[in-house]
Structure 1
Amino acid sequence: MPPVEDDNVEPEPPDKGQWIPYESAKIPFLSGDSARRALKTRWTVFRPLHRPLLSGRTTVGEVLVVGLCVTLSTLLSTLDVVNHDLNASGTLAVLVLGFVYFLSARDSLLALLAGIPFERALIYHKLSALVSIVIGFAHGLIFYFWGRRPDRRFPDETRAPGGIGLSDTDAVTGWLLEFVMLFLLITAQAPIRRYLFELFYRLHVVFMVACVALAFVHPGTDVIFGLLLYVFDAGIRVMQRTTCRKDCYVERLPGQVIRLRFSKGNLKYRAGQYLFVMIPELSIWEWHPFSISSAPSEQHVSIHVRVLGDWTKTLANKAESWTNPIRTYVEGPYGDCSVDIDSDAYSCFLVVSGGIGITPMQSITNELLAQRQRGRRIDKIWFVWSVRDRDMMDAFYPNDPSSVASMREDPALPAVFSPDNLSEHCDSNNPIGGDPLYSEFFMTRVRDPSQYSPSHPCLRFGRPDWQQIFTRMRQLAADAGVKRVAVLVCGPGGLVGDVAANSASHSDAAVTFDFHAETFLF
């Protein structure tokens, strides 16, 4: 592939000096020491709330906040029904609808104040929509049975049922709003969202606008608070999109993998984050999220995409004929780790990935190794990668009996993911040794292991033995004199669940495994 050049951007020096905690802190209106102190304070306050629950899919803090909001909404809605309070029930439904818009903002206050990024806030975006629908239905029942009587504190006044109210503008817009939101919730379910993304996205945009219009006509103007926050966020993103144009090289790789590569320029990101990517030649309407596989210390940004849906299939087909860089727009970066890996709180890491989930994990590992070269204490990184199919492994390793030394041009995560710092450690076969990195790559479905080079020390056949891995990692942490191990995972749900369960079962007062799972699919 030809080199990626950008004559308009001055390249950063390769040596950034001595590593310091939170050196990449990014907080609006703050910079330098102020941003680092603010981020440290946030972690100090919210660290207990980031403990994982439900196989790592959510955290203690998220459950507490959601539980409180749902309980409060249920209580207030029940009181409204008991009191026949039409106005209060409608106000509550619209306020929750405002939260639906608030939670769809990509740079929300949740990410700033509590470290809950956009991808994790989406589940609460959908939950808020469901709560709003339920409260809105209760609001409709009050109108149906008791009409416009505000509440039953005036028993002497006559109350007439409102019925369906098809001749009443407020009633018609209210029922339409209810059904439009229900339609949005149904079409946002995973099978439709992931396999018919273009249809989902266009319907979502159109009907979200329709919800706002119906809410204002109903009237339900209290939705404005969440809507304004969303509009502000959207405006920032639109301005960012106009300035984040990249000349991107697209390369078709073996194993149904595509690599996008462009000059870093003034783009600043942290290891493990992701970008939204739009290629006008494919569609100006579709922005797709992809994890960054390169480390922030590198001068070019690499994104590796597995061919799964219509958009990526079209991209793969066109990549064969694209020899020049393609005009590409990026938005972001987004994403935040629920484990404080940017500080000196951790020196032992267990990094686990499955399939294409290796991309953010490689970025994190390479950045940790680069930080170690600048003075950060890194005692051990245990890197585990598990794949099912031979095609992906063939894309990563030369399939010949050559020695490890002759594979130096194809590093530990070889040609598909080069360049990376893992290549300096690809012959480490002893987790107890002095090398900071120990790697194991598992092929879970292999009929004939003899087809693969027996000389490569990282290659394993079968599934990872999590009991053994966690036991040995625990011993490594104890030998290093540390009490906390950061466990980072990205991959299919089964893999994430196994790692989360073992993180919990192997934690005690002596050594605690602090778990974080990257969102694999939106």
Structure 2
Amino acid sequence: MAAETNTTLTAAQIAAALAKTRAKNGRAFSRKFYLTYNIIVVGLFLLACAAYWVNIHLVQKPRSNEKRPLIGQGRAKPGRYSAITNLYRKARGVLLYQPPGRYLESYGTMLVIGLYLGLNAFYCFYDSTFNRRVLANRFGLMSVVNMPILFLLGSKTGLLVQWTGWSHEGYIILHRHAGRVVCLTALGHVVAFCSSRSLASYLEKTRFILGFVSLLAFLIILVTSISPIRNRMYETFLYAHVYFLVVGMVVLYFHYARCRPYIITSGVIFIWDRVVRFKDSHHVVGRTENVSGETVKLSLDVNSTFRDIHWKTGQYIYVTISELARTQAHPFTIASHPSASTLDLIIRARRGFSRSLYDSEKTEHKVTFHGPYGSPATFENCQKVILLAGGAGVSYTYPEAIELAKGDKFFDGETPEIDFLWVVPKRDFADWVDLDSAKYGVDFKLWVTAESGRPDIKQYVKDSVLETLKQNNYDPDTKVAVAVCGPAPLVLASRNACADLLWDNVNVMFYSESFGW
């Protein structure tokens, strides 16, 4: 009789088999589960587009060119509407408020960031049983699934800005956090895999080596993106951002087949962005003039090219001067009125490109720029527009004030009252700007910090808004807009002043114009 085969398994073997089965089932579930993340993200994006469309075409757009009737047919009755409006404004005030702190954003922005990070954490850890192989798989999937989002948010052509109406500043903030999610989940992917097996066993296979190379490229981008490094070595950050991103994406394509649809999608977005930039590019002659405050005025001759150039107040362009920085494109707000013969830019000399332009002995340059981009605020139906600028931030508020005074932005010819304040360190800083109030019909107010100290912007905004309310007999429908462009403390003070006013049920609109990386 043949000896019976011993099929008894040890406890360790059973545990290993169960762990392997759980890991296999977990990975299979992850590959289906993460697809719902795409649906959620696309749904939120479409919701943001719909909200912007409703705001532009139904809320702000005038119904006709007629004046308002003497008997207010559109005025809502007090009661339920007033309570809802009050609650809505309070909610806006809370979301608009920004606590003091260098790395803190407004509560609304931090809420969006928190939801985004929380959603990614949920998809990384839900039903993972904290199995290292399952976690490694989840981290890798969430890294690549966020890459198209990262590329869309980093697009310089402003497609998402035009579709959602969000500011360039807001998209850059979301772009940074998306980049951190991509890099950190990629790091988690490698660490989790290496903790389940020896590192040497992974280095035996080419696709794993490619994964390590891709991770290294992403980590270099992450390190050079840290704020102090980015600010001190901007050119290093920019080159690392572009070249290591291309290397990381190409290597990642060959690392794992499931990455390829997302890598291809990201590549399409990247190429599309470059094609649009090429289509929107203009080659013109630019003339520089160094003015006070270590500032250079770059005037682009729009007649030096065969293509027509049109722009709106508040839009921005990306500028490249090959002889100073061949591969760099820097964003600047257009500082001239749409009907001007030159497209002017006001550039504060800091480091790198701006310093090279300021120190250049040449006053005429061959300039390539692409744009304009952006969906600036229109301030329709506002009784007053408060324009605040600090230093070179006047590049936005000055042409905006002139255009508002002309009534170019309003269908019914009603021009709002304009409260213009420009904060400068010294009086000669403003010598190069034409502040003739009689000529433009704008009361240009200049605040010189060397003579009067720093202004209380928060109180200034509140006093100006309350003055308008008083003039309109405290009508709750009185609408005031506050637009600011300048250093962070100026933006913070004006933002929080508007937040306080919204909490007090005052109809205030806030708009800030700034650029950064």
Class of the TM-score when normalised by the shorter of the 2 chains: 0.7 to 0.9
The answer to whether residue 215 in structure 2 is matched with residue 175 in structure 1 is no
Matched, 1:303 2:345: yes
Q: CA deviation at 1:63?
A: 4.6
Distance 1:498 1:298, change over 3 A: same
**Whose helix fraction is larger, Structure 1's or Structure 2's?**
2
Q: Which residue of 2 aligns with 1:40?
A: 56
Once residues 91 and 508 of structure 1 are traced to their aligned partners in structure 2, the CA distance between those partners, rounded to angstroms, is 42
1:249 corresponding residue in structure 2: 287
CA deviations 1:64-89 (Å, max 9, x no partner) are: 54333322210111134625425444
Specify which of 368, 380, 390 is matched with residue 344 of structure 1.
Answer: 380
After the TM superposition, which parts of structure 1 deviate over 4 Å for at least 4 consecutive aligned residues? 36-39, 42-45, 47-51, 55-65, 161-164, 372-375, 420-423
1:466–1:502 Cα contact (<8 Å) kept:
yes
Equivalent residue, structure 1, for 2:147: 97
1:42 Cα deviation from its structure 2 partner: 8.2
In structure 2, the CA distance between the partners of 1:472 and 1:98, relative to structure 1 (3 Å rule), is closer
Contact kept? 1:104, 1:230, Cα under 8 Å: no
Q: Deviations over 1:90-134 (max 9, x none)?
A: 222211133222221123552232112444312211211211223
Relative to the length of structure 2, the TM-score reads: 0.72
**Residue of structure 2 equivalent to 1:438:** 443
- CA change 1:94–1:118 in 2 (3 A) is same
Q: Which amino acid aligns with 1:299?
A: S
- SS of the aligned residue for 2:150 comes to helix
What CA distance in whole angstroms lies between the structure 2 residues aligned with 1:169 and 1:483? Answer: 67
Change (3 A) 1:283 1:135: closer
Q: Say how many residue pairs are matched.
A: 421
Q: 1:197-250: per-residue Cα shift (whole Å, max 9, x none)?
A: 222222221101111112112122133223312221112112332xx0112222
Instruction: Tell me by how many angstroms 1:394 deviates.
Output: 1.0
**Equivalents in 2 of 1:443, 1:43: separation in Å?**
39
Q: Distance in 2 between matches of 1:164 and 1:492?
A: 53
Residue 116 of structure 2 is aligned to residue 69 of structure 1: yes
Per-residue CA deviations over 1:469-506 (Å, capped at 9, x if unaligned) read 42243222442455221111111111111111211123
Asked whether 1:238 is paired with 2:293, we answer: no
Q: Which residue of 2 aligns with 1:488?
A: 483
- Correspondence 1:479 to 2:479: no
The answer on whether the counterparts of 1:144 and 1:163 sit within 8 Å (CA) in structure 2 is no
- Could you say which residue in structure 2 is the equivalent of 1:366? 402
Whole-angstrom distance in 2 between the partners of 1:162 and 1:239: 48
> In structure 2, what residue type is equivalent to 1:98?
P
Alpha-carbon contact 1:106-1:233 (below 8 Å) kept: yes
Q: 2:67 matched to which residue of 1?
A: none
| 8 Å contact kept, 1:275–1:291 | yes
In structure 2, C-alpha distance between the alignment counterparts of 1:142 and 1:42, rounded to whole Å:
51
Provide the residue aligned with 2:178 in structure 1.
128
* Number of the residue aligned with 2:369: 330
Answer whether contact 1:98 1:224 (CA < 8 A) is retained.
no
SS of corresponding position for 1:82: coil
Q: What is the one-letter code of the residue matched to 1:262?
A: L
Change (3 A) 1:313 1:144: closer
* Cα separation, 2, equivalents of 1:42 and 1:260: 39
On the 8 A contact 2:157/2:371 being kept in 1, the answer is: no
In structure 2, C-alpha distance between the alignment counterparts of 1:308 and 1:507, rounded to whole Å:
36
Please report how far the alpha carbon of residue 346 of structure 1 lies from its aligned counterpart in structure 2 after TM superposition: 1.8
Counterpart residue identity of residue 424, structure 1: K
Change (3 A) 1:253 1:472: closer
Q: CA offsets, 1:17-49, max 9 Å, x none?
A: xxxxxxxxxxxxxxxxxxx9887238779x998
Q: Answer whether contact 1:478 1:511 (CA < 8 A) is retained.
A: no
Distance, in Å, in 2 between the alignment partners of 1:119 and 1:237 is: 19
- Tell me by how many angstroms 1:461 deviates: 5.9
Match of 2:253 among 207, 216, 237: 216
Change (3 A) 1:164 1:512: farther
**1:514 aligns to what?**
509
CA RMSD for the aligned pairs? 3.3
* Cα pair distance change 1:194/1:42, threshold 3 Å: farther
TM-score (normalised: structure 1): 0.72
Distance 1:89 1:314, change over 3 A: closer
**Aligned twin of 2:354:** 312
Within 1, Cα distance between the matches of 2:312 and 2:151?
27
| Amino-acid identity (%) | 21
- Superposed CA deviations along residues 307-363 of structure 1, whole A, max 9, x for unmatched, are 212322322233x443xx4321111123334xxx32523231111111111111112
Counterparts of 1:295 and 1:138, CA distance in 2: 50
CA separation in 2, counterparts of 1:463 and 1:60?
25
Inter-CA distance 264–510: structure 2 relative to 1 (3 Å threshold): farther
CA shift in 2, pair 1:81/1:96, >3 Å: farther
| SS in structure 2 of the partner of residue 507 of structure 1 | helix
Q: 2:407 & 2:315 partners in 1: Cα distance?
A: 17
* Equivalent in 458, 461, 472 of residue 466 of structure 1: 458
The answer to whether the 8 A contact 1:489-1:496 is kept is yes
Structure with bigger gyration radius: 2
Tell whether the 8 Å contact from 1:297 to 1:367 is kept in structure 2 after alignment.
no
